[in-house]
Structure 1
Amino acid sequence: MTQKPHQLLFLALTLIGLLIQTGGSQAANPVLERRKVIGTTAADQHLTDYFRDHATRLANRSLKNVKDLKTWEKKRVQYRKQLFEMLGLSPLPHKTDLKPVITNSITSDGFIVENITFQSRPGLYVTGNLYRPIKQEGKIPAILYVCGHGGVKKNGIIYGNKVHYQHHGEWFARNGYVCLTIDTLQLGEIEGLHHGTYREGMWWWLSRGYTPAGVEAWNCIRALDYLQSRPEVDGEKLGVTGRSGGGAYSWWIAALDERIKAAVPVAGITNLKNYVIDGAVEGHCDCMFMVNTYQWDYAQVAALVAPRPLLISNTDKDSIFPLDGVVDVYNNTMKIYELYGVPENLGLQITEGPHKDTQELRIHAFHWFNHFLKGDDSLIEMAATKFHTPEELKVFKTLPEDQKNAKIQETFVKQAKAKVPEDSAQWHQMQEQWKTQLQKKSFRGWLKKNDSNTKTKVESATRDGLTLQTISFDSQKHVPLKLFVVMSKKSKTPQPVTLTVLNQSEWDTYLNELAPVFPGMDSATPLSPQGEKLFQELRKNVLENQTAIAYFTPRGIGLDAWNPEERKQTQIRRRFYLLGQSLEGMQIWDVRRAIQELQAQPEFSKSEMRLVGTGEAAALCLYASLFEKNISELDLTGMPASHHNGPALLNVLRFLDLPQALAMAASRSRVILHKVNPKDWAYSSQVSKKMGWDEKQLQIRK
């Protein structure tokens, strides 16, 4: 039987994939090797093992239970809803008037280019160039080309990345397509922001459930609306392609919108192993990632394109989309295409080279669209070349005053506004709903039970009438932590205990000075004069008040501090959120485990427990108290008033903020909040008044 050219192409690409899977190996890449290494200490190695373990877990369960098409079709509906949510698009924004404007039109070599803008939502401007043939008969297929990170800026004037990628649109127009090439948020004519967590320290993006990937996806959805409004376009024959960042946006729109009938994402996706274990995340800005609430691996995104034609395209020496991960995504996605009985609709193209826009990559993309959108399998004879200057393709002479692009992160995902409950029944209902949302949307990374087999170790010593204990335990596998306990040698059981959760500065200036007195620590080192002074103050406090005090630092702090280099600290936090966690969310888990370990000790099994924390540590105590029993009091100092400047918890601002969490905690325990502005906590005070609590139940002090 004679095979058609596209079948030969698919066969060749499939064989390449199989060869790579079974026998190939990627040459050592110094950039990749550097990114893999978090640091050199034991704590860094524990963290490396933690990331490897959790990335592997998510990879192993991704698409695992999909054995037949019926199961997949059911899960597919659920997965698409989850993806909309993880991109900040649930509920889906209202489709408002696009208000398209063509600011200029140029006739060129066989095609016309129109400089256009539309508003994907009021004030969110999308700038682009629409390329179309001068001559056409009837409606023709259209391609949405989404740009990667190739911005063009001359003499302080931004022309957009559409200018950098113009040759793609020009080729399509010269070969019988309409092509709309659109700028991205950060590199468009109106400069927005992709680098919130990558560079700007805007960790509240995670709390808001915001990612610029959602803006790019929404702009793509509206771009399809615009294309379908054009009289030249066959709205049933739409394709999408782009490379690097544009490759990622190609994935989002192809997975979300079935109007896309063929897709060629170029260098836009790999797997969690590459991102988290191999450190490829360090080469990517935030636009490449969803907020991974439901803990996906990336083949789940690719699988949502099935059974529509999809060509996964990459080079073999790409340091930010490594070859093994790309092939892994292809292999896992193929399982879904096989369930549909259309393996020929999925292709894998690997060409030689680095992360670069090459002619070899373009040729196969052009062929893919020709076959699936036009039924044309002829050879590609025309190269893609650039025809225009940046000045010719610029949309705006003056930027619109009502633009929201620059600060779209502040409004794109709606923040919840909590109402004060009318009565105790409504308050109970609100609390139960919030706890459920926290568990499902913010703390999904928590374990149902500790997964470590390491037994807790308790070491004891005495000094100057005190019993000193070091309790070593695993918060979870690869997270070894310590509790340091001080109590009177003659203490009675049960006795009250205060658990103080320390931040890094408190460890450095306080507990690190006291560390030599605890068993299992460096007892050969004598206390410094400052340490001796602190010890005597601690001794006096414990003996006079007949109380026990426990000190604790969660992961990443104190003995478990990781590589302090700022860049590594940033990329560590980003690895957590790619796993559907946040560092602070898992630190709250650590505080919970510390409470559990203390309560498991005979001296404290029936004791009242008081939690103490300052700054962000106060917020960790606050949330831990919502999920543990027998917490009699919270003593919190200088706690941030909002997750906008406090701990990052995935999605939390979509349903509550710290004042609501404080009110929840005060329903369970006595709460004293020090050194804050009472106005910031008005909601908590209003709930207290409405519920008729005793004035000592919630105390808010300046």
Structure 2
Amino acid sequence: MAERTGNIKGFGFKVFHVEILLFLCLFFQMTSIAFAQNSDTNYRQSVKKSIERIEEIYDIEIKDDYKLLEGKELDYADWRIRQGNLEVSLTALLSPFDLMYRKESDSVYSIRKFDYPRRTPDIGRERLDHLTQLYSGKTEWEQRKELLKSCMIEALKLDKAPKVEQPEVIITNKRKYKDYRVENIALEILPGVYATGSVYKPIKQKKGKSAVILSPNGHFGDGRYRESEQKRCANLAKMGAIVVSYDLFGWGESALQFPYEYHRSSIAQTIQVLNGKRLLDYLLKLPLADPSRVGITGGSGGGSHSLFLTAIDDKIKVSVPVVMVSSYFSGGCPCESGQPVHLCGNGTNNAEISAMAAPRPQMIISDGRDWTQHVPELEFPFIERVYSFYDAKEEVKNVHLPEEGHDYKESKRLAMYSFMAEHLELNLDNISNSKGKISEDVTIESFDELKVFGKEGKKLPEDAIKDIEELYALFGESYEKHSDE
């Protein structure tokens, strides 16, 4: 073959034995691919075997109760194991399959499907360490707080919520008991969308006006109708506060508009925050309400919403989030984590959101049998540090009950009563017996008595929206069912 020359766009070149060069290039390319394939094949391994190797290296047990590793293989699986770093090793092996691990104890781990709101205490500690580096004083923290606040409002779509100029307010079935009254309420928070609940009001008052307390509900059985919720609200009313307890989205009377199947939709988080905000605005317009004395308390999901509402609404002066302040768990239901609130500020968590209450008084109640088990040594020091920026460390408390579990039972309520009495100027004597012991002697009402729309829901307004698509449309969005629902 003769030597040839040519010209392309003004650049000269020589082509020597073009056919041979092309053949050599193709040969080396195919050889490279063959070696890669052989290498992948030689080192391709069952993920289960690599997990067993990790068990041996770290002397731990890794449970796969749901058989999530069955049939899964990975190239260079053993090469992904990092000696001296168990968590990184597990993540490297599991993340390609959208799996994660959960630490059950120091020596036992379990394999789970990826769970975006749930991590491990180690990751929580890592995140708090990172956040601690972002601010060293009040000025930097205030900048961070303002960024988080504006982002949370946007993430919750509160800026898109249409206003109701003259919202309908329905008050039904007023009852009077010793030292307090109860009435049921339906408040139009969006056109055709109603927040439903019960308002507890004091008969005896320490001052001319009453404090106002929001009581958002969590996923405890029977919601706002359960005995413990009624005790909490009635006792706070006896102490001198106006208290409102309201249904979760798709629970209780809210289900008359949006059945329970929609509770695990992302809009639930927006509506539940909006319920609290609009109910608070309504209550503060009552002649006997004192806007300088506003509190909030709730457990579990109600604890989440206590955190959110306190963070974005400065009208709330005192907060008691119960069994929900955690650096590694943000709520297992989309009504707590369905909107991208925890992605704000390039990543936040409930501990940092709790710190946004500073310097306002806050009592964090935790226990030893859920994701709040590490609060005393992990989350609380982080939150206390933020309070120190305001010289207000004495304003934040942690009541930790290591032998208790995930609930809002009597021991937790007793701690809350005293804190609310101290910071909202309520009268603890009104619920104490002659020996000074707090009593919860209140009337427990039937479910039907607590319903604003009546036993069969027949009093639901005709204009009430009952279509989830129509609800999303109010925010300029469309409904798409998620696999969580």
- How far did residue 227 of structure 1 move? 1.1
| Alignment-derived partner of residue 374 in structure 1 | 425
2:232 is matched with which residue: 168, 179, 188? 168
User: How has the CA–CA distance of structure 1 residues 386 and 222 changed in structure 2, closer, same or farther, with 3 Å as cutoff?
Assistant: same
2:180 paired with 1:119? no
| Alignment-derived partner of residue 298 in structure 1 | 350
2:110 paired with 1:46? no
- How far did residue 404 of structure 1 move? 2.9
Find the aligned partners of 1:306 and 1:37 in 2 and give their Cα distance.
45
| Alignment-derived partner of residue 361 in structure 1 | 412
Find the aligned partners of 1:54 and 1:391 in 2 and give their Cα distance.
45
Match runs of 1:505-520 below 5 Å: none
- How far did residue 344 of structure 1 move? 0.9
CA contact (8 A) 1:269 1:326 kept: no
- How far did residue 309 of structure 1 move? 0.6
2:360 paired with 1:308? yes
- How far did residue 176 of structure 1 move? 1.6
Find the aligned partners of 2:289 and 2:226 in 1 and give their Cα distance.
23
- How far did residue 63 of structure 1 move? 4.4
User: How has the CA–CA distance of structure 1 residues 127 and 260 changed in structure 2, closer, same or farther, with 3 Å as cutoff?
Assistant: same
Residues matched between the structures, number:
364
Structure 2 letter corresponding to 1:349:
V
Find the aligned partners of 1:140 and 1:35 in 2 and give their Cα distance.
53
- How far did residue 161 of structure 1 move? 2.8
| Alignment-derived partner of residue 381 in structure 2 | 331
2:209 paired with 1:139? yes
1:285-321 deviation line (CA, Å, top 9, x unaligned): 1112141333222222112111101111122213xx3
CA contact (8 A) 1:162 1:183 kept: no
Find the aligned partners of 1:78 and 1:394 in 2 and give their Cα distance.
40
- How far did residue 268 of structure 1 move? 2.4
> Unaligned 5+ residue runs, structure 2?
1-61, 75-89, 102-113, 430-435
User: How has the CA–CA distance of structure 1 residues 267 and 356 changed in structure 2, closer, same or farther, with 3 Å as cutoff?
Assistant: same
- How far did residue 124 of structure 1 move? 1.4
User: How has the CA–CA distance of structure 1 residues 388 and 404 changed in structure 2, closer, same or farther, with 3 Å as cutoff?
Assistant: same
| Alignment-derived partner of residue 508 in structure 1 | none
- How far did residue 182 of structure 1 move? 1.3
User: How has the CA–CA distance of structure 1 residues 121 and 296 changed in structure 2, closer, same or farther, with 3 Å as cutoff?
Assistant: same
Match runs of 1:617-632 below 5 Å: none
Find the aligned partners of 2:267 and 2:63 in 1 and give their Cα distance.
28
| Alignment-derived partner of residue 250 in structure 2 | 186
| Alignment-derived partner of residue 327 in structure 2 | 271
Find the aligned partners of 1:107 and 1:382 in 2 and give their Cα distance.
19
Match runs of 1:220-235 below 5 Å: 220-235=276-291
Match runs of 1:164-563 below 5 Å: 164=227, 165-191=229-255, 192=258, 210-272=266-328, 274=329, 284-289=332-337, 290-291=339-340, 292-294=342-344, 295-318=347-370, 321-324=371-374, 328-351=378-401, 352-374=403-425, 381-383=438-440, 385-397=442-454, 398=458, 399-404=460-465, 407=468, 410-411=472-473, 413-415=475-477
Structure 2 letter corresponding to 1:401:
E
| Alignment-derived partner of residue 83 in structure 1 | 152
CA contact (8 A) 1:143 1:178 kept: yes
Find the aligned partners of 2:474 and 2:334 in 1 and give their Cα distance.
15
User: How has the CA–CA distance of structure 1 residues 197 and 167 changed in structure 2, closer, same or farther, with 3 Å as cutoff?
Assistant: closer
| Alignment-derived partner of residue 473 in structure 1 | none
SS in 2 for 1:269: coil
Structure 2 letter corresponding to 1:330:
F
| Alignment-derived partner of residue 550 in structure 1 | none
- How far did residue 79 of structure 1 move? 1.2
> Unaligned 5+ residue runs, structure 1?
1-31, 153-159, 199-204, 276-280, 417-642, 649-702
CA contact (8 A) 2:127 2:327 kept: no
User: How has the CA–CA distance of structure 1 residues 384 and 127 changed in structure 2, closer, same or farther, with 3 Å as cutoff?
Assistant: farther
SS in 2 for 1:249: helix
User: How has the CA–CA distance of structure 1 residues 387 and 285 changed in structure 2, closer, same or farther, with 3 Å as cutoff?
Assistant: same
2:100 paired with 1:100? no
Structure 1 letter corresponding to 2:423:
F
User: How does the TM-score come out when normalised to structure 1?
Assistant: 0.47
SS in 1 for 2:253: coil
| Alignment-derived partner of residue 622 in structure 1 | none
User: How has the CA–CA distance of structure 1 residues 172 and 35 changed in structure 2, closer, same or farther, with 3 Å as cutoff?
Assistant: farther
1:305-361 deviation line (CA, Å, top 9, x unaligned): 11101111122213xx34125753322211110101000111111123121221100
SS in 2 for 1:241: strand
CA contact (8 A) 1:168 1:384 kept: no
CA contact (8 A) 1:311 1:347 kept: yes
CA contact (8 A) 2:251 2:263 kept: no
SS in 1 for 2:283: helix
- How far did residue 415 of structure 1 move? 3.1
User: How has the CA–CA distance of structure 1 residues 646 and 172 changed in structure 2, closer, same or farther, with 3 Å as cutoff?
Assistant: closer
SS in 2 for 1:372: helix
- How far did residue 162 of structure 1 move? 4.1
User: How has the CA–CA distance of structure 1 residues 250 and 193 changed in structure 2, closer, same or farther, with 3 Å as cutoff?
Assistant: farther
SS in 2 for 1:190: helix
SS in 2 for 1:179: strand
- How far did residue 374 of structure 1 move? 0.4
CA contact (8 A) 1:190 1:406 kept: no
- How far did residue 114 of structure 1 move? 0.9
User: How has the CA–CA distance of structure 1 residues 219 and 63 changed in structure 2, closer, same or farther, with 3 Å as cutoff?
Assistant: farther
User: How has the CA–CA distance of structure 1 residues 259 and 36 changed in structure 2, closer, same or farther, with 3 Å as cutoff?
Assistant: farther
